[in-house]
Every structure is written in structure tokens, then in C-alpha cells.
Structure 1
Amino acid sequence: MRAILKIRHQLATLTTTSALLLAFGATRVEAAESAKDDDVLRAQLSLDASAFKPGVIDGKWGEFTGKALARYMQSQGKSAPDFGDKPPAEFDLPLDRERPTKTTYQFTDEDVKQIGEVPEDHKKQEELDRLRYEDLLELTAEKFHATREFLEEINPGFDWKNAKAGSEVQVPNVQMPFALQKPEDLKKQTEQAEKADKLKVEDDKPEAEQFKIQISVADKILELHQGGKLVGSYPITPGSDSLPAPVGEWYVKGFSWMPTFRWDEAMLQKGERSGDAYNLPPGPNNPVGILWMELNKDGAGIHGTEVPETIGRTTSHGCIRLSNWDVLDLGTKVRPGVHVSIQ
């Protein structure tokens, strides 16, 4: 009997030990995956702070993080590999490991003022003075260049529907949070310069400082070149099958910050202007976002968007679409007259 009890005890010990080893192994795997996710998030933040933009921040490796990293490396004179579906073992980036990847943000009264209903009906939208953010989750996602899903993930249990001024949330620690005041200020500056006939254009710069825009429809990337060198890139949505982006050589005729957008279904679907249209007011939920850069091609332009998480993953109506924070960055670098090559 004692021998049987001893065997049972040994089996129980082995089972417990095996379970502990499995749990320890699972914990190590989870820790490794968490560290890798943290590295991806840190890489996205580093690229977002650079001139090579990764698109929306979500802490996950993806197509546009890889394309941004490859172009950053190319700009440094290094080979630019196709990273594929998996992140590199080591990121060839100046990662600041002392800087936290997340920080706390407290909602303000000004944030709350930027919230308002956005009707689906364009006629009702036309009656509004602004197309505001629908809620504080949408505002926070744009301000910190993130997906709404990622914000919900890093704020488990937070009641976004009842968020108010004074509420605090965790957000990606981006270097330059997006703020609507910047395009509002640029709108005033541009209008004043136009009235005084002092609007500066790209050709006013020394030749070595002039930018050129190169757009790859296939890669869904807008590259910025200066002095023959690659100096920046942005993920884009470049047209659609029915209304593709206009391939060819163009230039930007002018900028319209915080624009009113003429919603014309016939123009959007067929490229033909009709009399049945609505003038949609400015705001972050305007269909062309916070900036319209008109090309010397009827109906075509480079612009922002009200749905940044769809950049590169859906289609547009023949234009080049960027997130609002990326088009703001681009619009503060280039000037009217900048050359645009779409291939």
C-alpha cells in the first residue's frame, strides 16, 4: 500500500511540475510577445516622429510600418529590404528606450467643445457650421495618431461614452499630437498672404531646398524628395478602379486649409460635375479633412480624411488621401507650385 501511495505522490508531483513548467513556458512566450509588441509600438512612435510616417499607430506590425522603416533605412544609405509579414529582430532606428511608449491624457473643456453630432445625410450636414468629432474616442484617436481599437485595448474598462472634461486615459506617447488650431492658424495666414499678394511658392526656395512629390499608386505611398534625395514618405489612398488617381506630371495650384467641400455624387462617381450638390462645412469630419491641395487637373487633389484608419485599405474618388495629421505635416513642408509625379 505504501508503495502505491508513493507512486501516486510521485505522479502527482510530476503532473504539478509539468503544469508549472508549461505555465512558466507560456509566461515566457507571452512576455516575449509583449516585448516584441512594445518594440513595434516604439518603432511606430519613432517613425511617426520622423519624416517617414507609418500610418495609424496600433502597436502591431503591418504593411505601412514596414514601408516606412524601409524608406527610412534607404534615406540613411542602407539597403531597404521587403520586411513582409514579420517585424525585424532588431529595428534599425534611433529608438529612445527611456521615453515611455504611453502617457496619460486628461480631457479638457476645449476637447468637449469639439464634439458634435455628424448626421449621415449630406443635406443635414450642409446645415451645420462645422463637422465636428462625433465623440471623445474619435478625437483622441486623431490627436494621438492611433486607431480607436488600440485606445480601447490600452484602456480596458474605460467608459468612452461617458468620458468628460477631467477624465484621464492612456494614449500613445507621440511627439506631435494633432491639434485643429494649427490648420486654423494656417488658414488665416494663407488668406492674409493671398490678400497681400505675398503668398510664397515652391520656386521661391533655393533650388536645393525645393521639394518634389512622387506618388506610387501600386505601393500606396507618397514620397517627398529634396535635392534628388528621399527625405520623407506617407501612406496614402490613391483613387479607385472607377476613378483612378491621375497618372502623370502635375503641380499643386493652391492650398485650402479647413476647406468647405462640395459633395457632388456625380463628380465623385463619374468625374462629371452636376447641379445636385451640397456644400459641406469645415471640420475634422469633412470628407477632405483639414487640407485640400488642388492639382492642375480638374477635380483632383491631395487631401486629408475623416477616416484615417482606412488609409491604404480602401479607395478614394480619384484623389490622393492622407490622414489629417500626415497631410498637415506635408502641407507645412511644401508650397503651392510643388511638382507632383503620379505613377
Structure 2
Amino acid sequence: MFPTRPKAGLFSRLALTGAALLLPLTPGWAQPAPTAPTTTPPVIAPVAPPKPRALTSVTRDEIEQAQYDGGDLPAGQSALTAKVQILLDRSGISPGVVDGWRGGMSESAIKAFQRRAGLATTGRMDHAVWDLLQGYGLSPLTADYAITDEDAAGLVDNIPSDYARKAAMTSQGYTNVLEKLAERFHMDEKFLAKLNPGAAFQPGETIHVTLPAKPIRASVTRIIVDKQTRRAAAYDAKGNLVADYPATVGSADTPSPHGNHTVDAVALNPTYTYNPHRNFKQGKNDRVLTIPPGPNAPVGNVWIDLSEPTYGIHGTATPSQLFLNQSHGCVRLTNWDAWELAHMVKPKVTTVEFLAPGVSIADVTGASPVVAATQTAVTATIAGTRPPARGTRLPPQVLAAESPVPAEAAATASAAATITEAAASTTAATVAAPAPLVITPATPGPTEPLVPATPAPASPGEEPEYPSDVGLPETLPGQPSGSVTLYPQVQAP
């Protein structure tokens, strides 16, 4: 049977449909705005920051006459930054290499300088730092140097990266005169070349060099290694900061040790034993190799052995890369900084403290932000005094007596420095150029050479990574047993 009300429903549906057709046409009803076609916004490629500007060349006068006018050091490479680096080096706060670049090592050095002065450790150049540095600039910052035949002696053709090829060589020496002299004067090779455009760096040639300070001769009883700021600070028995160095400290794969350790021995120009079974594996080399000594050796020209087996403080073949490279757990310094430190530590006495993450050198040496703020407030007073001499180095005023300074420079320096009675009393003895003083302890050390001709026998499977695990005497090469020589501090190439 069919439904009884089909027509009523049909008419209702037809009426609604008609209304739907008429509604859009009725005046007064709003029409939806036409939709604009969607477009994808253009992709703007990120603009790389401008590359730091490098100097094409630099002159001695530009370095000597560079002045600070406020603000941070110039971006890139500049004569002013080179001048600051030389002054930092002379103050006992090593900037690493003198290269004129404002970068990580220079920033860390300024922080260390500010920490020692009790200033806020910003790592940025300011008038307080500049004024304090002037006490170390009373003698010329640059000089002429005549290259000798000896400078060209002992060079090697190249230094291979493969350890097996290194082991087949007789020396890991310098590859050219430029590299050799750059290390002697604490400079980057490229910067030394820019200071001497067109130079061939051959014997008989006179070149321009920067003049760092002579090595410190002090006694270091405590070394603090800050992994975060990548600095190694050396202190004497009274807690005075003797020197502060930039360092490469371990890596993610082979981190440096933790806690406190002791200096066990010192080796200058050591051979190096590569042992893939104990530390790391280099390339395809799977056997123990003995690599000859030299400044381009894996540990540079110095090894300061720590009580933690296979760990030490040592030099590097690439000083300009300290903050770029990673070490195999050790503390890596420039060759000249490591050499300086090696003459100041005392085996079985000097402690080496690796700070825990989040702990700074200032935290464990008593400095505080309150002290820094107070010192900043009295900057005018600090800036008018001469900075303390670096270690046992003669004060800057004594060095000025060795090299005449123009009247204008002397007037400027005297305004920024005060000569103490101690400095004046030392002057006469320095000009007389006394012979080196050799200090020998009452109880001489062992008489065997520092680096044994025949390495100590090792147990099968436990070959030492030389000089770790090898009993080394405390004497430095060419000196009486257990002695250290204090050399007269004369500022000369």
C-alpha cells in the first residue's frame, strides 16, 4: 500500500527548494567577498654575517703606535689587537699566538687578566684593562732580527699525519725558518709573514718580529685547569698567580681526568710512544710505535707527566689551533708556554687540579663578583699604578733601560706607571748583566739523563705511553742534578 500523504511532503520539499534558489537573488542579502588566490611568501635566504676582515700586511709602526679609543677590540685582524696580545704575553697572561685576530684565545686572556686585577671578567677590552697593560709597554714591542745559519739548521721536509711514517723519521723538527722563528717570538706564521711582505726567510735576511717577554723563572706549586674557559692557571706557594695559559683540554671521546693530581716528572724534547691498546687508535696503525722528538711531535717539545697514568701537560705542533683542536684527554699548551711551565713545576710537589663543570678558577681562588664590582668602581686608582712584575721577571721599567724609548712614549708611560723602590734597586744589578744563577738543592736528584737512552722495559700488553708510567728524574737537560737556572731578564731577540 502506498503512503497516504505523499503529495504534501512533495510540495513542501519543492517550496524549500524554490526558496533556496531565490535567496541568493534577493536584494539586501550579503554576498561573500571573493577570496584572493593564495600565494606562498617568498623564501628569503639567510644572509651570512660578513667574514672578519684580515690584514693584507702590517708594519712595526702600526703596532707600536696603535691606540685604544674605547669599545671592544676591532672585529677581525688589527694592529691594535696584536699590540694587546704582546702586552698580555708580557704580563704573564698568555694570549696563545700573537696574530692580531680578535677571537677566543684573546677573549679568554683578557678575562684572565681581569680576574687577576679584580675587575669584572667580561673578556671585552675597556679603559681599565688598557691602562693596566701600559706598564708592560715601556720597551719596544717590535724589533729587527737577522736570520742566522743556525735558524735554518735541523729542518725537515714535512711532517706526515700518519704515525707509522712519523716513527720512520729521525726528527719531528720544524719544516721551515718561518715556522721556527714564529714559535720563538710567540707569533702566528701568517702574521709574521704579513709583518715581512716579500721576505724569503733565509739566512742573512733581516726581518721584523714582535718581542714577547723572556720566560718566567718562578716556583709553581699549584696548577688549576678550567675546562670551560680553556685556561690553565699556575700559582706559587703564597697563592699568587704566576702565569695563565690558553689550553686544549680533552675531548668528548677522551675527556681529561677529574679531581686533583700531582706532577710526577718533566721531560723536554721527549720521544713519544703511540700505543693503540691503551689510549686511542690513529688510522690503521694497530701496533706500538716510537715517534722521535721535536717541536712537531704529537706532544710538542715538552711533556709534564701527571700522577694519573697516560695523562700530562704538553706542547703542540699547531699553536694557532689550540681552541679549534681537541686533545686525547691531556692539557695541550703552546710549545713556548709548556716549556716555560716545565721549568717552574716541581715533581712530587706541584698539584694539578681539574675543575668540575660549572666551577671557575675565580670560585676556587677566592675572587667574587662583589670584589670585581668594587674594583671596577676604583678603576681610576688602579689604572695609575704599575702592574706587578710577571713572576720573577724584572719590572718593565728595568727593561726600558735596555732599549731607549722615544721621549713621547716615555712621557706617556710614566703617566701610567709608578716606579717602586724595589724596581729601582734592581736596575743596577740588571744593567751589569750578571751570569746565570744556578740553584741546586741540598739533596741532589738522580744522576741519570732526563730522557733515558733505553726506555724502561714494559710488561707484555702494558707498554707505557711514554713518558707516562716511566720513572723520570727531576733534572732538566744540561744542568746539574736537581737544579734550575735563573737567567738574567734582558729584553732582546
Q: One fold, TM greater than 0.5?
A: yes
Change (3 A) 1:103 1:53: same
SS across alignment from 1:329: helix
After TM superposition, give the deviation of residue 252 of structure 1 in Å. 1.1
Q: CA shift at 1:250, angstroms?
A: 0.8
Distance change in 2, residues 1:262/1:210 (3 Å): closer
Matched with 2:309 is 298
CA contact (8 A) 1:75 1:231 kept: no
Q: Aligned-pair distance for 1:95?
A: 4.3
State the Cα distance separating 1:222 from its structure 2 match.
0.4
**In the alignment, which residue of structure 1 is the partner of 2:264?**
253
Q: Secondary structure at the match of 2:251?
A: coil
Structure-2 residue corresponding to 1:180 = none
Please name the residue that 2:228 is paired with.
218
Task: Name the CA distance, whole Å, in 2 between partners of 1:275 and 1:58.
Answer: 38
Residues 267 and 150 from structure 1, CA distance in 2 versus in 1: closer, same or farther, beyond 3 angstroms?
Answer: farther
Does residue 125 (structure 1) correspond to residue 156 (structure 2)? The answer is no
Aligned to 1:134: 175
- Write the distance in 2 (CA, Å) between the matches of 1:266 and 1:89: 53
* Count of residue pairs the alignment pairs up: 276
Structure 2, unaligned runs of 5 or more = 1-61, 69-77, 356-493
Q: How far did residue 108 of structure 1 move?
A: 0.9
Q: What's the Cα RMSD here? A: 2.8
* Aligned residue identity for 2:207: V
Contact 2:220 2:344 in 1 (8 A): no
CA-to-partner distance for each residue in 1:212-247, whole Å, 9 max, x for gaps?
A: 111011110001123234332100000110001111
In the alignment, which residue of structure 1 is the partner of 2:373? Answer: none
Q: Tell me the equivalent position of 2:147.
A: 107
For the pair 1:169 / 2:198, whether they are aligned, the reply is: no
Q: Deviations over 1:91-114 (max 9, x none)?
A: 131345553332222211111112
Match of 1:200 in 2: none
Q: Name the one with the larger strand percent.
A: 1
Whether the aligned pair in 2 keeps the contact of 1:242 and 1:269 (CA below 8 Å) is no
Deviations 1:301-342 (A, max 9, x none): 111111111112210011000011001111111111211111
SS at match of 2:235: strand
Partners of 2:104 and 2:317 in 1: how far apart?
21
Alignment partners' CA distance in 2, 1:277 and 1:118: 22
Taking structure 1 as reference, are residues 268 and 166 closer, same or farther at Cα in structure 2, changes over 3 Å only? farther
Q: 2:287 aligns with which of 276, 281, 288?
A: 276
State the AA in 1 paired with 2:173. Answer: R
User: Percent of counterpart pairs with the same letter?
Assistant: 29
Aligned mates of 2:243, 2:137 — CA distance in 1: 23
Larger radius of gyration: 2
Give the partner amino acid of 1:340.
V
- TM-score (norm. length: structure 2): 0.52
Unaligned residue ranges in structure 1 (runs of 5+): 1-30, 178-204
Q: Deviations over 1:150-191 (max 9, x none)?
A: 1122122333xxx321122221122338xxxxxxxxxxxxxx
Match of residue 286 from structure 1: 297
Determine whether 1:45 maps to 2:86: yes
Listed as ranges, the matches of 1:1-343 within 5 Å are 35-36=67-68, 37-76=78-117, 78-84=118-124, 87-89=125-127, 91=130, 92-95=132-135, 97=137, 99-120=139-160, 121-159=162-200, 163-176=201-214, 211-226=221-236, 227-269=238-280, 276-337=287-348, 338-343=350-355
- Deviations 1:27-62, CA, capped at 9 Å, x for gaps: xxxx99964544432221122123211111012333
Q: Pick closer, same or farther for the CA change 1:215–1:97 going to 2, 3 Å.
A: closer
Q: Which has the higher helix share?
A: 1
The 1:210–1:323 alpha-carbon spacing in structure 2 relative to 1, beyond 3 Å, is: closer
* Contact 2:115/2:121 (8 A) holds in 1: no
